[in-house]
Amino acid sequence: MTTLLPTTTAGSLPKPVWLAEPGTLWSPWKLAGHDLDAGKRDALRLAVDDQRQAGITILGDGEQTRQHFVTTFVEHLAGVDFEQRRTVRIRDRYDASVPSVVGAVSRPAPVFVDDARYLRAQTDQPIKWTLPGPMTMIDTLYDAHYRSRERLAWEFACILNEEARELEAAGVDIIQFDEPAFNVFFDEANDWGIATLERAAKGLKAQTAVHICYGYGIKANTEWKKTLGAEWRQYEQTFPNLQRSTIDIISLECRNSRVPMDLIELVRGKTVMVGAIDVATDTVETPDEVAETLRAALRFVDADKLMPATNCGMAPLSRDVALGKLRALGAGAAIVRRELGA
């Protein structure tokens, strides 16, 4: 990638109102059958266009073809029963009705590879594809088969690797694994979570990223954040081991977050996706505010390793707000690029 400060999003963007109910997670589709398939593709093209017009460098699909960043991937796997639902506590934070693992898990067919090929056909710019990470996957399921979080995570890591290799072959430049669970289960992350992540990324020639955040701007998350104190030092627990890992890019949130910026030092040498857009508020950042966050990050990361991004996905926001934030991200990065003489 030749552009200095290449911008990108953490992943999701709001869907058009004709495709899914706005402002909510796990939003039901408004179309069905062939219309739904066609609608998802149209939405993907709009998401690409929004990013392109905002001057975003590395484009994603805005996760327009999936209902949820974890569930949709899991739906395509064998060994998981969506009828047998159990209520579990997600990331120790909120209860959700989730499917059960009832047998050996496997991936009978590619999940997102056709969508990725479609995204590839829309643009010559670099593209990034997001997948859930192994630990976040097991945290969104009830396991009635393996009865071991670690064993199930290793199984998912192998499945994710199969998918990731095919995404790479479809022309994806960066494969990102979402692991918000790393900000909650530190001991497990260090014992086997990072190892299973590396297994998921094994042998890839595409760049690999891990996105670790404090979640979407939903109530359960904002309430949880209130309990975290004046300084959020969660990243301190996993960054040293991530710095030594094979993962190329670390995505973290910075804007309006109480994360001390100097924690970025802990992943020195890695490319850092700096969250310069708060996804938990409808207030649209100004380009100057984005630039301010990026300048602050540049004290701890070399300019050629800084990738301006959003704190997390923007799925629950309105499209107007999300578009405004995308534009601010593009314009804010351009300001700092000019300052750097690029």
174 vs 25, 39, 208, 239, CA distance in Å? 25, 25, 6, 20
Q: Which is nearer to Zn ion, 209 or 213 (CB)?
A: 213
In SS3 terms, 114-137 reads as HHHHHHHHHCCCCEEEEEECHHHH
* Smallest distance, Zn ion to C-beta of residue 280, A: 11
Q: Does 291 bind Zn ion (CB under 5 A)?
A: no
Q: Does 213 bind Zn ion (CB under 5 A)?
A: yes
Tokens standing for residue 276: 């310069």
- Select the residue interacting with Zn ion from 135, 312, 323, 326 (CB under 5 A): 312
Angle (nearest 5°) at CA 274 between 59 and 134: 75
Residue 279: name the closest of 104, 23, 20 by CA.
23
Region near Zn ion per CB under 5 A, out of 114-122, 130-138, 146-154, 212-220: 212-220
Whether the CB-CB separation of 246 and 198 falls below 8 Å is answered with: yes
* Per rule CB under 5 A, count of chain residues that contact Zn ion: 2
* Smallest distance, Zn ion to C-beta of residue 258, A: 16
Q: Which is nearer to Zn ion, 39 or 133 (CB)?
A: 133
Q: Which is nearer to Zn ion, 11 or 330 (CB)?
A: 11
Rounded to whole angstroms, the Cα distance separating 188 from 327 reads 38
Region near Zn ion per CB under 5 A, out of 67-75, 123-131, 211-219, 284-292: 211-219
> Is residue 174 helix, strand or coil?
strand
* Smallest distance, Zn ion to C-beta of residue 311, A: 7
* Smallest distance, Zn ion to C-beta of residue 124, A: 27
> Is residue 265 helix, strand or coil?
helix
Q: Which is nearer to Zn ion, 166 or 179 (CB)?
A: 179
* Smallest distance, Zn ion to C-beta of residue 178, A: 6
**Binding footprint of Zn ion on the chain (CB under 5 A):** 213, 312
